[in-house]
Amino acid sequence: MQTLTYEFPAERPAARRAHVGVVGSGDLEVLIIPADGAARVRVRTSVDGFDTVWRVVLERFFARHPVAGNYELNDFGATPGVVTLRLRQAIEESGP
Amino acid sequence: MTAPDWEALLGRTSFIELDARARAGALLDDGTARELCGPFDHLDSPWLEPQGVVPQSDDGVVVVRGRLDGRPAVAIAIEQAFQGGGIGEVSGVKIASALSLATRDNRDGIPTSAVLLLESGGVRLQEANLGLATVAEVCSAVLELRAHQPVIGVIAGALGCFGGMSIAAGLCTRLIMTAEGRLGLNGPEVIESEAGLAEFDASDRTLIWSIDGGAQRVRTALADALVLDDVGALRSAVIEAVRQGVPGEHRSQRIGELRARVEAVDPAHPPEPSGLAAPAKGAPPEGDG
Amino acid sequence: MTSRGRTWTHALADGAVGDAVPSVITADGTVGHDVARLIAVVPDPGSPYPRARNGEVGLREGLALAEAVTEVVAGDAHLPDDRRRPIVAVVDLPSQAYGRVEEMVGIHQALAAAVDAYVSARTAGHPVIALIVGQALSGGLLAHGGQANQILALDDPGVVVHAMHKRAAAKVTLRTVEELDELARRIPPLSYDVADWARLGLCDRLLDVDDADDPTERDVTTVKEALTAAVERARRGPRDLSNRLDSPGARETRVASRRVHEALAAQWRRVRDDDGTAPQ
């Protein structure tokens, strides 16, 4: 297991907190807690050694969806596609 | 053979494909569900991360208070996708405490029933002794609440209900299963690993469901109702089970019936599961409240 | 066949040790001013159930435990509830029985009957004391001893309390036995050492004895005194299991349990008040 932290520029504030997903095989849980200034992400992942992949996936996501807040990702081996899908669901839920 | 009712099949909303949170919410009356100790309370397991296991923010148990059929109820759902529904310190205490709080409400004059969604492999081995301890606490809490209001167990998914939580299932006022659901003390893999392939072939799905499956458990009266994996059907079955009230004698109190079950089978020449007889009904099936 | 369960039951018994089935023995034993009912699950090499010959809790053991406990509860039903007999579960069992016949007949229901009986005894006012003298594993402990008001254990290397024996636990969690031992040094609930288990707040007293396999007179006195004190504490204490969260050990180790319990109670109250179902 590895814990990774990232911060990305994001100016649009999350309207409310959001929670999607489960820490089950090939899936992940995403929590968004509204906070200003940036998207601060903590990833706890069961798969070690994918720091760069996480950075690329998250960077791309927040470039397209600059929603500020504290993000907590608890991952159990989700693919980049599933990660992006869950993040999208989460910001939809956190939207106004 | 009758033709399948395609309209009914296509109109189904699978219950077990929902996650635990959605399942608990789906059973309660619309708009009444309020989750307690949810993900944002960050009450996750203190024991998993130090072992290199990713925790889940609700530790795999969802507690939702609301109304069922217009009356106060608590729905408690185990998330089968997280650690195989294994019960750890936090998840176990969530279940036991929620049941105890319902008992306290009953004593205070607020009749509150409970629904337990029992998708669990039993004690979470990463929390071994504390998981075991909390399962004992869950069993005790089921028994305390059961005296006041029904505690309805539901086993809907193919993961099934095993280990210590199968004992909790055996203590429920009534037990509802789907044909996909399984119930047993020891899972097939555990028996095969402990006692060998000849004792139990864990790859033999027909064998497994013939013994542990919902249809068999209902046929032999170890569970009460066989229901389609459908949100509406399960909610109706739960409401009906609660309406039947508290029986004079619970399944786990019917020791005579248990004795008959045990004595009916010669362990040297056991019948095929399909030949296992259902015990004669020892107590009236319906309660008085 | 000797076993610690049998040895200690005989050592604590006033007179004859009886059995309804060969694998579940009962006796009366004086504990302070009370005559307690002792109950133990013991090996039965001749059992018709091959998977329940070494002291495992199987179908007939679950049933016999339920019957033995229920008999005591029924027998004392006419007494005021503070005068009801103590029940001492002498615990030495390798596990529940792992077998196909067991599953088919419904071993979980047999264990549920035993759990139900013990909880009924406890709530009726019988002090239920678990005395762990050997192994206390998994479903076996849940059915026999796990519902006690008070849990005592001998401080002896042969005493092991756990959710699963080490080899199987290693296999299921995809670790080696060595890795499991290493982890257990940091994670107390994983430990197979009785002293670590006692620190989880589940053990009310750890008892020093000279010979756990063949108790001396002094050992028997030690245990009887501990049982007497435990009966007294049980009679004074709650009849549910709330003391397990309030014990000194639990305050140290079960911090998460206590936090969850308090948070849930607070949120429950709030939601109940909003819902308009608060008592008037």
Q: For C72-92, write each residue's pLDDT tens digit.
A: 999 999 999 999 999 999 999
Does residue C192 sit in the same domain as residue C212?
Answer: yes
Res. B289: pLDDT tops 60: no
Higher pLDDT, C41 or C169: C41
Determine the average pLDDT of the residues in B248-265: 97
Residue in chain B lying closest to A3 (CA): B54
pLDDT band of B105, cuts 50, 70, 90 = very high
Residue C213 and residue C96 share a domain: yes
Which tokens is B71 given? 């009356």
pLDDT at C270: 94
Q: Is the pLDDT of residue B55 over 50?
A: yes
Angstrom CA distances, C126 to B54, C36, C227, stand at 43, 10, 14
Q: What is the percent of chain B where pLDDT is above 70?
A: 95
- Chain A residues close to B56, C-beta within 8 Å: 22-23, 29, 74
Sketch out chain B's domains with CATH numbers.
Answer: 13-275 (3.90.226.10)
Confidence of residue B2 (pLDDT cuts 50, 70, 90): low
Task: Read off the pLDDT of each residue in B99-116 and give the average, rounded to a whole number.
Answer: 97
Q: The pTM is what? A: 0.96
pLDDT surpassing 70 at residue B285: no
Chains that touch B (3 or more CB pairs under 8 A): A, C
Together in a domain, C203 and C276: no
pLDDT the model gives residue B286: 47
Confidence of residue B59 (pLDDT cuts 50, 70, 90): very high
Residues of C in contact with B191 (CB under 8 A): 98-100, 103
Low-confidence ranges of chain A (pLDDT < 70): none
Domain of C275, in residue numbers? 247-280
How far apart are alpha carbons B38 and B59 in whole angstroms?
A: 9
The contacts of residue B246 (CB under 8 Å, 6+ apart) are B146, B147, B148, B149, B150, B173, B287, B288, B289
Domains in chain C, number: 2
Domains annotated on chain A, with CATH: 2-94 (3.30.230)
- Examine the domain organization and report whether C176 and C269 are in the same domain: no
Distances (CA, A) of C78 to B182, C84, C266: 42, 9, 39
| pLDDT at residue B175 is higher than 50 | yes
Residue B212 has pLDDT above 60, yes or no: yes
Mean pLDDT of chain C: 95
Q: Do C139 and B167 lie within an 8 Å CB cutoff? A: yes
Are C276 and C168 in a shared domain? no
Sequence-ordered list of residues with C-beta below 8 angstroms from that of B59, at least 6 positions apart, any chain: B43, B44, B45, B82, B88, B90, B91, B94
B4 pLDDT above the threshold of 70? no
Interface touch B81/A27, C-beta < 8 Å: yes
B77 pLDDT band, cuts 50/70/90, is very high
- On average, the pLDDT of chain B sits at 94
On whether both C219 and C251 belong to a single domain, the answer is no
Q: Do chains C and B touch (3 or more CB pairs under 8 A)?
A: yes
Q: Mean pLDDT across the stretch B271-287?
A: 73
Residues C205 and C258 in one domain: no
Percent over 70 (pLDDT), chain C: 99
Give B253's contacts (C-beta < 8 A, 6+ positions apart): C113, C116, C120
Same-domain pairing of C159 and C269? no
Clarify whether residues C254 and C222 are in a common domain: no
C151 in the same domain as C111? yes
What average pLDDT does this structure show over B262-273? 96
A76, closest residue in chain B (CA to CA): B54
Q: How high is the mean pLDDT of chain A?
A: 97
Domain match, C231 and C252 both: no
Q: Is the same domain home to C273 and C159? A: no
Task: Please give the Cα distance from C169 to C180 (Å, whole number).
Answer: 8
Question: How many CB pairs below 8 A link B and C?
Answer: 258
What mean pLDDT is predicted for residues C118-142? 97
Residues in chain A: 96
pLDDT over 60 at B284, yes or no: no
Indicate if the pLDDT at residue C175 is higher than 90: no
Q: Is the pLDDT of residue C35 over 90?
A: yes
**pLDDT attached to residue B3:** 61
Q: What pLDDT is attached to residue C221?
A: 98
B contact test, residue of A4, A20, A29 with most B CBs within 10 A: A29
| CATH number, position C225 | 3.90.226.10
Among left, alpha and beta (phi > 0; psi -120 to 50; other), residue C136 is beta
Of the pLDDT bands very low, low, confident and very high (cuts 50, 70, 90), residue C48 is very high
Does B19 contact A at CB distance below 8 Å?
yes
